[in-house]
Each structure stands twice: as C-alpha cells, then as structure tokens.
Amino acid sequence: MSKEIEDHRVLNRSTNEPFSSILEKHVSRRGVMQGGLGMAAMSVLGGFGLAGCSDSDAGNGGGSNGGGELPEKTALALAFEAIDGSRTDAVVVPEGYTAQVLIPWGTPLSNSVMDWSNDRMMTPDAQANSVGMQHDGMYYFPLDEQNASSDFLLALNNEYIDPGALWSTNTPPGPTFNSGNRPADEVRTEINAHGVTIVRVQKQSNGRWVHVPNSPYNRRYTSATPMELSGPVRGTDYVITAYSPDGTLTRGTNNNCASGYTPWGTYLTCEENWPNVFVKTSGRENDDNRLGIPSNNGRYAWETAANDPSEVNGEFARFNATPSGATAADDYRNEPRTFGYIVEIDPYTNTRAVKRTALGRFRHEGCWPGKLVEGEPVVFYSGHDSRNEYIYKFVSDAVWNPADANRAGGNYDRLAIGAKYMDKGTLYVAKFNANGTGEWMALTPGATTQDGQRLSTALGLADNDLAGIIIHTCDAADLMGATPMDRPEWGAVDPVSGEVYMTLTNNSKRTEDGTAATYTNNGSDVDALGVGYATAPVNGPNPRPDNESGQVIRWREPSPEETTFDWEVFVFGAAEKDTNNLSGLTELNQFASPDGLWYDERGDGEGILWIQTDNGYDGVADYTNDQLLAVVPNSVSLGEGDAAVIDASDQQQLKRFAVGPNGCEVTGIFATPDKTALFINIQHPGNWPADPNALVQDATQKTSGTVRPRASTVVIQKADGGKIAV
C-alpha cells in the first residue's frame, strides 16, 4: 500500500506467535546477532535455485527442497554502475539510460474529453474517460507476438486520489461540503479517479512511447463499474444487497494496490485499502471489526452524498453499510462483503470484470502465479498488507493444461478459463517456524484449529459453509495459528525454480522478544473474533522490534500442491550506519520499506530481481528518495552462519538502478519481452513532472517552480537501444 493512505490500526486480535519472534529465533540460531555478521545478498525470484542454500541447525535445510541438487550458477551480471541517492524533483537513472514520462494522470483516452492542461477542471465524465490517479501495479498484454515489445495494452491500477491535485483548479478548491454533505459530482469524479485503466501504448520509430487515443481497447474500470461475483461467495446470503438481491453482482473495485496476471492472459487487480471508503455505525459483524470498516465516516465521505436529487440506484448510499431496512435486500449492510477480493479483467475485451472470491477476502496487496507445471494445480500467492497479518496461497482443483495459455489478442473466453482455475480450489495460510521450515494450513470448514475445534464450528458457521470461511478469512487464519508478518506486500516467483519472494515492508508495532502482545480491546477478551493486535513481539521471519526498514523473505516448495516449505530472509533493509544493518548495506544500496517486487526472467535459469521502495524511515530518507534496486539472485548465496542471503561480501551484486522524484513512491514494474524497455510507476510525486502541460516528456528534467503533481508511468531505456541492466 502507499504510505500516503496506510491504515495504522492493527486489527489482528490473535495470540499467534508473530513472524518477528520466529525470525529472531531463526537469526539467533544462526549466530548472526552476536558478531555483527552481515547478511548475504538477496536471491529473490530468479535462477534455477539457490546455490548454497542454508541448512538449518537441524541439518536438513529447514525442510524439503524438492529433491535433487540445485543447478549451477550461470554468468548473468548487472552491467551498470550503482547510482548515488537523490533528493530532487526528477527521476535519476544510470549514465547511458533515458527515462520518459508516459500516460500521467488525466491523459485523455478518447477525443470525447479535452486534452490535458495544468488548469484542466475534472468532471465525472472527463475523469471516467481519462487515466486515473495514483498509478500502482501494472502489467502488459501484447496484441500479437511479432510486435509484443512495441505495441501492447497496458493495464494499470489507480490506487487512490490526491484531493489537493484533483480539485486544485476549482473555486474554491475541493473537496467541498454543503451542510456536511459532499456534492454529488465531486463524489462521482473521485469514484471515477479510482480503479483500473486499460490503454494501448506504442513505441515510435524515434524510440519514444505514446498512448493511442480512441483505441477500442482503451477503457476504465472505476469504483462504480458493475462487476460479477464468482466462487464460493456468489449467490449466498452474505452478499445480498439492494443492488443485487440474488447476491451475484456488485459495483466497483477500490484502492487497488499491486496486481498480477494469469497464464491465460488476464489481469488481476487486488483490493487493498477498500474498508476505509465505507462506514458502519451499528449492526457491526465480526468481519467488519476484523477488517477495519470505520464506525464514524468513510475516508472520502462519499456516503454523505446519499439522497442527492441526482443519485441513481443508491450509488452513494451503498457506502453506508449501517442496516436501515427490514432485510439485507433493502439496504447495503452487506456491501463491504462484496469487496476484498482478487478481481479478474480481460484486457482484450469489454466483458464484465469478475471478483474471484475463492482466493480469500482481506486487504490483498497483490496476486502472483506460482510455477506452472503441466498436470499439476495452478497456484496463486497473496499477502495481506497490514501490520501483523498473513501470507496466503490458493491451489486450484483443476490441473494446468498448456492449451489454456494465452494466445495474444486471440478471440476466446479467457474469463471462462479463469473460472476453471480460480473458482474452485483450496485457500491456505502460512505458518513459519524458527528452524527455517513452514507449513500451509488449509482454510476449509473441516480444518482443525489450534485448540482442536472444527474451523466452521470455531467461527460459528454451518459445517459446509465455505462461503462463511471466505467472508471471515482473517479470523479463520487467526484460529488456525498463522504467523503474523511485518506487512506482507509484493511477491514474485521464479518461473523456473518456483522460488517465491515477498517483501515485508515494515512494522512499527513490533516489540522485543519476551514481551507480551497487547490488543486493541486492552486484552479483556482476546479470544473474541474481530479484535486486533495493538503490538506483537518479534518472531522468526520478523526478528527486529520496531521494524522501520523491513526485509525480503524467500521460500521454496517441493511442488505447487505441497503444504510444507523452506524459508529464509533474502535481505534486510537498513541504513548504512544502522547498528542492525544485518545485510551490510552501503551508501550505494541502502534502502528501507521494500514494497514492489518483480522477477525479470532472462533465460537459461537466470533472472534479475527488482526491488522498489515506499520508504518513511528517516535513516534512509535523509539520503535518498524512494528507489529501484536490482540483484541477480544466482550471483549470491547463503553462507554458513549468515542470517540472510545478502551480506557484506555481496554489496556489488545489489545495485541502485533508479531514484524517483521528491515525495514519491516507486512502484509497478515490468519489462518488454525483448528487455529493451523497463516500465515503472511514480506514485504521489510532490512536485513533478516538470512540464505541467505535457503528457510525453523527459522524466529526468528537474521541476522549476511549483506544478500540479501527477502520478505517471515512466519508461526507462538504454540510449543505444540495448537490453536493460545487462
């Protein structure tokens, strides 16, 4: 999530041992905390396997490794010099590289709206037909194989709004209220600034990228767009509303952070900080409390526009989930239960998006497919981005058939394939052990909880109520004894080895080993559902109290459907001068709050792991803005006694590649198939891009004076047209 809209409440009420405690024990066992031994460099998602993987002190590598010896390293190396940190209103890239702004907020998708200008006033219609605000996760979808690196569809999350920028041209500037109520058209404009943008982009002969206005592919999915519910929750009493009395439809997707993609060519957008747009003053259920539905007002007060004379079909009333009618079909008490899912979009067709409820309901950061193996299930990984929350995986009932792989631009029913793999399967939550092993625990009605109950019984559900398990995913995970983590954010998977990486961005609510957890209800009823942690002690994968700088972890499983795994810390974030700089970071690669993550496969079992940051830790922020770093996982390995994969001997392997402008978060990343263009997003810049009226411009130009800030996609290329980074 963006630090701009973090929800600092800790909503996990469980007494489960948190990852920081497990990690501290794990690090202690390796002897690292004693002599200041640094951590070995991060071997995130690439390569066939981890050369020199650590053994736990049990002597078995902490669990199974899938059998057989790991392949030898190959020779991929980063061929750029790490750049210095920067604190300017510009994007900084290595010498010999260029960076170009593409599709900033407000870029018109069609000629039905006026061209962008710095003084442009936004209306509901204009925003619905323009690129949304605050770019985050994204991915590309080629239209044909021949031009896959120069002409494709870009799917882009628009996570949230900056009201100051959105309403800066109004008189008076917004947001505004009239006797406590928001104006209807202001609310509609803000709703239309959220969601997802699909836009066609092309590379010109001069090497510059442009978007294609009026392309039939261009469109928006906003917080008002009708969507299907699928999977276990569809058609159940849990999701009956006045809008959809049969519980099959909802409207909108909101606060979408990271993203994902499917092997059959669809886009996955993930609902993260969605609870805060709702309000529920009474009639609250356990899941309302566990997920943090506000009890006083929504983040943007959209609910206050209800009963405006222009309101259509409860378009504003739905944000107030307080029961007001005789039944759920008469009000919007269940509206929040239609949010918190992975949403599947076919970027090639204008079909209705589908919320895949089988993958769980929580604050999803993103969703990443595991290694594909013909004849084995399809796996997706996801993290719940809140302090002391969990990591999940979904395993399909159907096994992978390569005939279902995407045919770029082909005219076939991708969402039907999505239903095949994503509507039926098993959702698991992760438990990490201090010895470097872990297990996936099934969230099914018949699962056995920590205290020996049937999970459905512990939740007060009927024996076969899978939909109820999904609605109460977080409470179910609590009861099963999952490991609370330091805000699980982005994941990445090496498609060859199957190794999985995930960023744990930070956690200011960690306390020292041996301290007692505290709870949001002051500990008076810690076994009640819908309560949350206030603080939690350290554990194995989260070993540092008051963890301001975060870490990246890695795990591996013998096969997609296995329920055991081995794990280690790949790299700890830190400032160079920190006493707990466990990975030995230097000025040229110090970072904090790892967030975005992407594994860039380069063939022959090789790849680059890209790490992006959303830093709020002064120890690093005083030196540099948020950044993008790179490492070749096969260039580093875990040595005897090391606490993590990257240590003081590996500093030349982890390099700072780019730095964003002042105030921004660097997020969203992929490269074209030919690896000549790297796309990233610059979210919530403070005073950038430099030319307030241009859509396409040099991203490295420093801003002069004050401009209306616009989140933007940035394309980084080599000046000579060669492959990025190597």
pLDDT of 37 > 90? The answer is no
Supply the pLDDT for residue 109.
Answer: 97
Choose the weakest-confidence range: 28-42, 252-266, 499-513: 28-42
Cross-strand pairs, 364? 384
Sequence letter at residue 393: K
Say how many C-beta atoms besides its own lie within 10 A of residue 172's C-beta.
6
Structurally, the chain folds into a number of domains equal to 1
Contact 599, 45 (CB under 8 A): yes
Contacts with 120 (C-beta within 8 Å, 6 or more apart), sequence order: 106, 114, 126, 169
Give pLDDT tens digits for 164-186. Answer: 999 999 888 889 998 899 999 99
Range in 43-47, 194-198, 248-252 with the lowest mean pLDDT: 43-47
Residue with tokens 């603080």: 535
Number of neighbouring beta carbons within 10 Å of residue 384: 29
- Calculate the dihedral angle through the C-alpha atoms of 578, 582, 583, 584, rounding to the nearest 10 degrees: 50
pLDDT at 284 over 50: yes
Q: Is the pLDDT of residue 724 over 70?
A: yes
| Contact between 669 and 680 (Cβ < 8 Å) | yes
* Cβ atoms of 383 and 365 closer than 8 Å: yes
If pLDDT is split at 50, 70 and 90, which confidence band does 121 have?
A: very high
Assess if residue 725 is contained within a domain: no
Mean pLDDT of the chain: 88
Residue 693, pLDDT score? 96
Q: The pTM is what?
A: 0.91
Identify the DSSP state of 417: H
In a domain, 370, yes or no: yes
Residue 522, exposed/middle/buried by CB under 10 A (0-12, 13-18, 19+)?
Answer: exposed
265: left (phi over 0), alpha (psi -120 to 50) or beta: left
Is 105 domain-assigned? yes
Q: Structural domain of residue 459, as residue ranges?
A: 3-718
Query: Which amino acid would we find at residue 461?
Result: L
In degrees, rounded to 5, the angle at the alpha carbon of residue 191 between the alpha carbons of residues 102 and 354 is: 85
Phi and psi torsions of 467, nearest 5°: -60, -40
- Rounded CA separation 491/471 (Å): 23
Amino acid at 454: R
Q: What are phi and psi of 126, to 5 degrees?
A: -65, -45
C-alpha closest to that of 587 among 577, 595, 579, 596: 577
Residue 507, pLDDT > 80, answer no
* CB contact at 8 A, 637 and 24: no
Residue 48: what pLDDT? Answer: 25
In a domain, 723, yes or no: no
Residue 61: how many other CB atoms lie within 10 Å: 16
Residue 217 falls inside a structural domain = yes
Q: Residue 253: name the closest of 153, 132, 154, 123 by CA.
A: 132
Backbone angles phi, psi at 312, to 5 degrees: -120, 125
Lowest mean pLDDT among 191-195, 297-301, 312-316: 297-301
Q: Rg of the chain over CA atoms, in angstroms?
A: 24
And the tokens for 559?
């096969």
How far apart are alpha carbons 598 and 494 in whole angstroms?
9
Query: Given a cut of 90, is residue 532 above it in pLDDT?
Result: no
Q: How confident is the model at residue 45 (pLDDT cuts 50, 70, 90)?
A: very low
Query: Are the beta carbons of 352 and 367 closer than 8 angstroms?
Result: no
Domain assignment present for residue 243? The answer is yes
Poorest-pLDDT segment among 52-61, 642-651, 689-698: 52-61
Cα maximum dimension of the chain: 71
Q: What is the pLDDT of residue 62?
A: 34
- Count other C-beta atoms under 10 Å from residue 674's C-beta: 12
Given a cut of 70, whether residue 34 has pLDDT beyond it is no
Question: What CA–CA distance (Å, rounded) separates 187 from 176?
Answer: 10
Can you list the alpha helix ranges (DSSP code H) found in 413-562? 414-422, 455-458, 466-471, 473-480
From its phi and psi, is residue 303 left (phi > 0), alpha (psi between -120 and 50) or beta?
alpha
Among 51-55, 343-347, 695-699, name the one with the lowest average pLDDT.
51-55
Quick one: pLDDT at residue 637? 85
Helices and strands, counts by H and E, the chain? 11, 34
Least confident of 61-70, 169-178, 281-290, 456-465: 61-70
Q: Is residue 168 part of a domain?
A: yes
Whether 313 maps to a domain, the answer reads yes
